């Protein structure tokens, strides 16, 4: 009897192992989705997810060159079917903000990617307006399709330009090169303090910063915006490439606004291969800004 060369091929075995790992992670994410409280249209979304997996062509939009995902009264466009899990992760990882952040407020989203956080905010926080900032061109194109609010295509820092390494997972793109980097782009840079639309705001209800290790750059370049933000949700580096480590970022925040208080420690991002803690979500409250 001849040997089955396909099943004895190491690459074939690895692909099968990767497939089952993806299934396991997807099911684990679904269990978190189901048990997370106060997610609207929870079961409808899961139905859409598995329809997308089974029949992706039904969701393809030739004009936008992306998959259109219906839900929560709008259509969200994603580059690949598996990117629907990014939406799930955002809703799960930021569910705590439903009890913390003000409703009907002003939200600033730095590191917006394709607008997953904006979708979450529109769905559960009902903001007056969202100001979104994203440096990766293709992600920004989808952001514009997904969100009708203010958009800025660039990075937030004190430099004039920044080389951004585009990651296979677009939400992980940053100025730091990773093994999964697939290209580069040069982003124009600006401070949040130099955005006229933000200058005109007396306060900001929620400043969200998720920039893959560049959070110190954002904060250092935009002290006025930080000082007038009621709540800050910051993904803070622990053990990964970053402009400054987490302690330096926390020290800078305290220096800029002594009245900031850490009120919530959320999702901890870990490396899949080693289990080491890469970053953590933190929420701060500016107690110097009184409720209006």
Residue 103, domain member (yes or no): yes
Mean pLDDT throughout 282-289? 96
pLDDT at residue number 24: 77
181: domain CATH number is 3.40.50.150
Residue 1: predicted pLDDT: 43
The confidence band for 17, taking pLDDT boundaries of 50, 70 and 90, is: low
pLDDT of 65 over the 50 cut? yes
The answer to whether residue 15 sits within a structural domain is no
Q: CA 73, CA 160: separation in Å to the nearest integer?
A: 38
Q: Between vectors from CA 108 to CA 107 and to CA 111, what angle results, nearest 5°? A: 135
Domain count, the chain: 1
| Domain assignment present for 18 | no
Helix (H/G/I), strand (E/B), else coil: 244: coil
| pLDDT computed for residue 204 by the predictor | 98
Are 84 and 26 within 8 A, CB to CB?
no
Residue 111 backbone class (left: φ over 0; alpha: ψ -120 to 50; beta: rest): left
Domain contains 101: yes
Q: Pairing relation of β-strands 106-110 and 204-209?
A: parallel
CB 91: neighbour CB atoms within 10 A?
24
Residues 6+ positions from 180 with CB-CB distance below 8 Å = 167, 168, 169, 172
Contact criterion met (CB below 8 Å) for 124 and 103: no
Whole domain around residue 100: which residue ranges?
94-286
Question: Residue 3: is its pLDDT beyond 50?
Answer: no
């Amino acid at each position: 009897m001849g040997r089955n060369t396909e099943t004895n091929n190491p690459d074939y075995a690895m692909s099968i192992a990767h497939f089952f790992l993806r299934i396991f992670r997807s099911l684990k994410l679904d269990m978190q989705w189901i048990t997370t409280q106060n997610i609207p249209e929870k079961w409808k979304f899961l139905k859409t997810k598995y329809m997308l997996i089974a029949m992706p062509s039904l969701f393809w939009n030739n004009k936008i060159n992306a998959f259109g995902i219906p839900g929560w009264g709008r259509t969200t466009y994603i580059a690949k079917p598996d990117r629907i899990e990014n939406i799930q992760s955002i809703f799960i990882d930021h569910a705590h903000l439903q009890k913390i952040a003000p409703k009907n407020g002003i939200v600033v989203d730095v590191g917006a990617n394709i607008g997953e956080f904006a979708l979450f905010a529109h769905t559960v926080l009902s903001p007056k307006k969202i100001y979104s900032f994203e440096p990766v061109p293709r992600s920004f194109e989808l952001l514009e399709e997904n969100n009708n609010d203010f958009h800025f295509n660039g990075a937030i820092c004190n430099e004039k330009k920044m080389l951004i390494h585009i990651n296979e997972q677009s939400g992980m793109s940053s100025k730091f090169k990773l093994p999964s980097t697939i290209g580069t782009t040069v982003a124009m840079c600006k401070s949040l303090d130099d955005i006229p639309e933000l200058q005109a705001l007396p306060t900001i209800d929620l400043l969200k910063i998720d920039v893959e290790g560049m959070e110190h750059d954002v904060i250092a370049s935009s002290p006025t915006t930080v000082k007038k933000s009621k709540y800050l949700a910051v993904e803070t580096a622990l053990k990964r490439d970053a402009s400054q480590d987490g302690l330096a970022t926390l020290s800078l925040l305290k220096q800029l606004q002594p009245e900031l208080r850490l009120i919530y420690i959320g999702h901890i991002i870990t490396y899949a291969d080693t289990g080491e803690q890469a970053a953590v979500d933190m929420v701060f409250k500016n107690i110097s800004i009184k409720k209006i």
